[in-house]
């Protein structure tokens, strides 16, 4: 009887946690704004205080990009997406992390990775990602997720206690099933939150001056980069239609699909702010590209550079591609790298790093005289470069260097 009673209670506990959440309406316009949420109760106040401490640490972090113009521009894109009233509660921080991501805490702290800025190509695409994160904030997903995890933890504790009261093989199996159900529900709950934030993000864009179709383009690019990276690494093509049991986000293909469907058709003719975006990112593009190349992901980096070049090849993009091919180190890449550096120099003859890269590449390909000439030009353009002494060692003294 004891074993049967424990089994029944475990089943009831599992059912209470695993019950599917009601599907949210696929609204194409955001709900009325109700104002910035204030923490309620001990748990929420405690979480806000923890977030405040994390924000203070973020403000002092060496990874923080402290540039008022760039930060102000990014927040301006957020405001253009969600509206001035909504975005007033947000404090934007840009961190030098070369991966595609952004996040938002319940206390109004928004973190934007520099890698995200490199991968989106206009204000509309940036607004899609920032609007998604603001959707998490407005829906209080952080708080609700905390409550969900706490409830799940309570269920597992009581389940373990009941199983221990009636120890048997069947009780252990029942508890394992409970664990699977509880964790599965938590993962599914997280994915449902992501879907809800996606719907809110596209709803903000639908009402904005920006082109909402850009939201689907973001995920098309994410899939393209992942596929290019896998191909060069010799891995099989990623499955964008299905996800693992423990996945925290919906499949990328699913997201691209429903975001395309939810974008209002009349929005396709709106502006995307591409020219303004390129101008705002121009002072930072060399750093962003260098950080990307430093990830040692040849396929993904080549894809990112090629996508940026769809609006026109610049000297900086040719330089970055030359650096990417040269640093991979395969002999067959040096000829390509030399051509890329030459393309950069043709656009901007005073671009010192391109002469450096060309010189090092030509020396590697058995053309020392031409390489040394390029290195001499590099030193002329940048005599105080950090590596000037090392470069001079590569040039014979009789050349006058």
- How do residues 329-346 score in pLDDT, each as one tens digit? 888 899 999 999 999 999
The answer to whether 222 and 252 are in contact (CB under 8 A) is yes
* Angle in degrees, CA 254, 258, 260, rounded to 5: 115
Distance of CA 113 to the CA centre of its chain: 6
CA contacts within 13 A on the Cβ side of 321: 25
> What is the DSSP code (8-state) at residue 108?
S
The answer to whether 109 and 54 are in contact (CB under 8 A) is yes
Tokens of 295: 């990830």
pLDDT tens digits, 49-75: 888 899 999 999 999 999 999 999 999
Stated as kind and residue range, the H or E segment containing 106 is none
Question: What does the pLDDT average to over 138-149?
Answer: 68
| Pairwise CA distance, residues 303 & 119, whole Å | 10
| Pairwise CA distance, residues 117 & 113, whole Å | 7
Query: What's the whole-model pTM score?
Result: 0.84
Given a cut of 80, whether residue 277 has pLDDT beyond it is: yes
pLDDT at 148: 62
The answer to whether 181 and 243 are in contact (CB under 8 A) is no
| Pairwise CA distance, residues 340 & 343, whole Å | 5
What CATH architecture does domain 313-399 belong to? Alpha Horseshoe (1.25)
Tokens of 303: 């894809």
Tokens of 335: 């000829």
Stated as kind and residue range, the H or E segment containing 247 is none
Cα–Cα distances (Å) from 121 to 73, 78, 100, 117, 173, in that order, read 14, 15, 13, 8, 51
Give percent of the chain with pLDDT exceeding 70. 80
**pLDDT band (50, 70, 90) for residue 187:** low
Given a cut of 60, whether residue 150 has pLDDT beyond it is: yes
Stated as kind and residue range, the H or E segment containing 183 is helix 169-207
pLDDT at 155: 62
Given a cut of 80, whether residue 184 has pLDDT beyond it is: no
CA contacts within 13 A on the Cβ side of 81: 33
pLDDT tens digits, 23-36: 434 445 677 777 66
pLDDT tens digits, 211-248: 999 999 999 999 999 999 999 999 999 999 988 877 87
Question: What does the pLDDT average to over 260-282?
Answer: 96
Least confident of 188-197, 253-262, 326-335, 388-397: 188-197
Q: Which residue has the tokens 């990014």?
A: 74
| Residue 236 buriedness (CB in 10 A; 0-12 / 13-18 / 19+) | exposed
Question: What does the pLDDT average to over 185-214?
Answer: 87
- Name residues whose C-beta falls within 8 Å of residue 232's C-beta, 6 or more positions apart in sequence: 298, 299, 302
| Pairwise CA distance, residues 126 & 43, whole Å | 33
| Pairwise CA distance, residues 127 & 137, whole Å | 15
The answer to whether 58 and 72 are in contact (CB under 8 A) is no
| Pairwise CA distance, residues 211 & 76, whole Å | 16
Tokens of 37: 């949420």
- Other CB atoms within 10 Å distance of the CB of residue 242: 9
| Residue 295 buriedness (CB in 10 A; 0-12 / 13-18 / 19+) | middle
Least confident of 105-114, 153-162, 206-215: 153-162
Q: Within the chain, which residue ranges are assigned CATH 1.25.40.10? A: 313-399
Secondary structure tally for the chain: helices H, strands E: 18, 3
Tokens of 64: 């923080």
pLDDT at 397: 72
The answer to whether 146 and 43 are in contact (CB under 8 A) is yes
For 30-89, give the DSSP string: PPPP-------HHHHHHHHHHHHHHHHHHHT-TTB---HHHHHHHHHHHHHHH-HHHHTT
Tokens of 316: 């900086």
């Amino acid at each position: 009887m004891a074993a049967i009673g424990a089994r029944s209670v475990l089943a009831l506990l599992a059912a209470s946690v695993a019950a599917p959440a009601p599907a949210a309406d696929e609204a194409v316009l955001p709900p009325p704004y109700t104002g910035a949420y204030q923490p309620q109760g001990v748990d929420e106040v405690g979480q806000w205080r923890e977030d405040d401490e994390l924000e203070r640490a973020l403000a002092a972090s060496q990874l923080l990009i402290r540039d008022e113009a760039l930060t102000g521009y990014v927040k301006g894109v957020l405001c253009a997406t969600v509206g001035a009233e909504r975005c007033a509660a947000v404090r934007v921080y840009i961190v030098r992390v070369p991966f595609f991501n952004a996040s938002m805490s319940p206390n109004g702290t928004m973190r934007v990775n520099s890698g995200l800025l490199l991968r989106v190509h206009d204000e509309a695409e940036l607004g899609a990602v920032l609007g998604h994160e603001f959707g998490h904030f407005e829906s209080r997903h952080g708080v609700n997720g905390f409550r969900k995890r706490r409830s799940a933890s309570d269920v597992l504790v009581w389940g373990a206690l009941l199983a221990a009261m009636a120890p048997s093989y069947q009780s252990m199996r029942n508890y394992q099933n409970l664990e699977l159900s509880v964790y599965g529900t938590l993962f599914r709950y997280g994915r449902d939150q992501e879907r809800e934030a996606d719907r809110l993000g596209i709803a903000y864009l639908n009402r904005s001056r920006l082109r909402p179709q850009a939201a689907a383009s973001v995920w098309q690019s994410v899939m393209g980069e992942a596929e290019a990276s896998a191909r060069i690494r010799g891995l099989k093509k990623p499955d964008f239609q299905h996800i693992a049991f423990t996945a925290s986000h919906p499949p990328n293909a699913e997201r691209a699909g429903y975001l395309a469907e939810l974008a209002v058709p009349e929005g396709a003719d709106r502006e995307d702010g591409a020219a303004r975006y390129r101008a705002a990112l121009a002072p930072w593009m060399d750093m962003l590209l260098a950080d990307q190349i430093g990830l040692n992901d040849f396929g993904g980096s080549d894809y990112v550079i090629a996508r940026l070049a769809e609006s026109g090849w610049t000297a900086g993009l040719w330089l970055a591609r030359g650096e990417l091919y040269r640093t991979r180190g395969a002999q067959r890449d040096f000829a390509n790298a030399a051509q890329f550096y030459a393309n950069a120099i043709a656009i901007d003859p005073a671009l010192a790093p391109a002469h450096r890269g060309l010189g090092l590449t030509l020396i590697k390909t058995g053309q020392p005289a031409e390489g040394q000439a390029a290195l001499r030009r590099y030193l002329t353009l940048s005599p105080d470069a950090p590596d000037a002494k090392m470069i001079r060692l590569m040039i014979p003294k009789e050349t006058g260097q």
